[in-house]
């Protein structure tokens, strides 16, 4: 573990409103750890011993139901907090966090949370904003699942991933971490099979370019139009 360079994280929303002295004090309680690709940061149901800030890489948060189905809750990008169970009063992590790329995280012990909040109330307010935003996003997802066709949900999911973690290429935008059709199915509430079919269709139409655990959006704008199309509307008016 090394001391984290304050300047790298000072601009993050989590630390908004904190002075550099304060920030240093907060960082002093954290340890950074490296998680290799495909390793678990924590498992669903385990004691919530820490909360985290992702410095580098990508982490997938997923939940498994009692009957064995899995769904992807979200992909966490650099600069985002995750595993905030301690802050919202949970004893156990409600989901599993897996590094999908080699990743580096900062971890604070759970016991530090009450102390930090007492000393720097801004931390609670900032975390509240983040959690509130995620609640909004999740509501959006519920709405999509209630009212949209599978094709539109996949379009939305890809656009969100591209926006959050897209890498610009000469001929499109690439999702810059490994993601399988199965993962997309678990994000959009459908099956691997349907995702595969739809992406194949899009590939033939030149909208995307696929590959194993790899997706490039060649025509983001056309995908956006697909996403906004009302169900049953074929767009040719």
Residues of this chain, 37-56, that bind DNA according to CB under 7 A: none
Residue 73 or 161: the one with the smaller Cβ distance to a second copy is 73
Residues of this chain, 165-194, that bind DNA according to CB under 7 A: 180-182, 189-194
139, 163, 168, 193: residue in contact with a second copy (rule CB under 8 A): 139
Q: Does 147 bind a second copy (CB under 8 A)?
A: yes
Instruction: Write down the residue that tokens 């998680």 correspond to.
Output: 35
Name the 3-class secondary structure at 91: coil
Question: Which of DNA, a second copy, none binds 210 (CB below 5-8 Å, type-dependent)?
Answer: DNA
3, 20, 129, 200: residue in contact with a second copy (rule CB under 8 A): 129
CB 121, min distance to a second copy, A: 4
Residue 8 or 145: the one with the smaller Cβ distance to a second copy is 145
Instruction: Retrieve residue 197's tokens.
Output: 């079919």
Q: Where are the alpha helices (DSSP H) in 149-219?
A: 150-165, 181-188, 192-204
How many C-beta atoms surround the C-beta of residue 79 within 10 A? 15
Among the listed ranges 26-34, 68-76, 172-180, 195-203, the one in contact with a second copy (CB under 8 A) is 68-76
Q: Where are the alpha helices (DSSP H) in 77-149?
A: 112-119, 121-147
Q: Does 229 bind DNA (CB under 7 A)?
A: no
Q: Does 133 bind a second copy (CB under 8 A)?
A: yes
Question: Which of DNA, a second copy, none binds 138 (CB below 5-8 Å, type-dependent)?
Answer: a second copy
User: Helices 150-165 & 220-228, crossing angle to 10 degrees?
Assistant: 140
Residues 198 and 203: their CA atoms lie apart, in Å, by 9
6, 33, 196, 229: residue in contact with DNA (rule CB under 7 A): 196
210, 222, 224, 229: residue in contact with DNA (rule CB under 7 A): 210
- Yes or no: say if 221 and 158 are a contact pair by the CB < 8 Å rule: no
User: Helices 150-165 & 192-204, crossing angle to 10 degrees?
Assistant: 80
Residues 11 and 32: their CA atoms lie apart, in Å, by 18
Nearest to 73 by CA among 110, 165, 64, 81: 64
Residues that bind a second copy (CB under 8 A): 63, 65, 67, 69, 71, 73, 84, 87-90, 94-95, 117-118, 121, 124-125, 127-129, 131-136, 138-139, 141-143, 145-147, 186, 189, 230
């Amino acid at each position: 573990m090394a001391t984290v360079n304050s300047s790298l994280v000072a601009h993050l929303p989590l630390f908004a409103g904190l002075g550099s002295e304060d920030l240093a004090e907060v960082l002093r309680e954290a340890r950074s750890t490296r998680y290799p690709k495909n390793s678990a940061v924590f498992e669903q149901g385990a004691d919530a011993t820490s909360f985290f800030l992702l410095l580098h890489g990508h982490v997938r948060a997923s939940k498994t139901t009692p009957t064995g189905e899995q769904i992807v809750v979200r992909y966490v990008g650099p600069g985002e907090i995750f595993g905030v169970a301690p802050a919202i009063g949970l004893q156990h992590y409600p989901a599993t966090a897996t590094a999908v790329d080699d990743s580096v995280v900062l971890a604070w012990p759970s016991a530090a949370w009450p102390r930090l909040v007492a000393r720097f109330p801004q931390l609670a307010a900032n975390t509240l904003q983040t959690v509130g935003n995620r609640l909004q996003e999740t509501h959006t997802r519920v709405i999509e699942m209630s009212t949209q066709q599978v094709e539109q949900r996949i379009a939305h999911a890809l656009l969100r991933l591209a926006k959050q973690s897209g890498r610009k290429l000469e001929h499109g935008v690439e999702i810059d971490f490994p993601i399988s059709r199965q993962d997309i199915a678990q994000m959009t509430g459908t099956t691997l099979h349907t995702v595969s079919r739809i992406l194949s269709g899009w590939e033939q139409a030149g909208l995307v370019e696929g590959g194993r655990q790899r997706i490039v959006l060649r025509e983001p704008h056309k995908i956006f139009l697909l996403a906004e199309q009302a169900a049953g509307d074929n767009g040719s008016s």
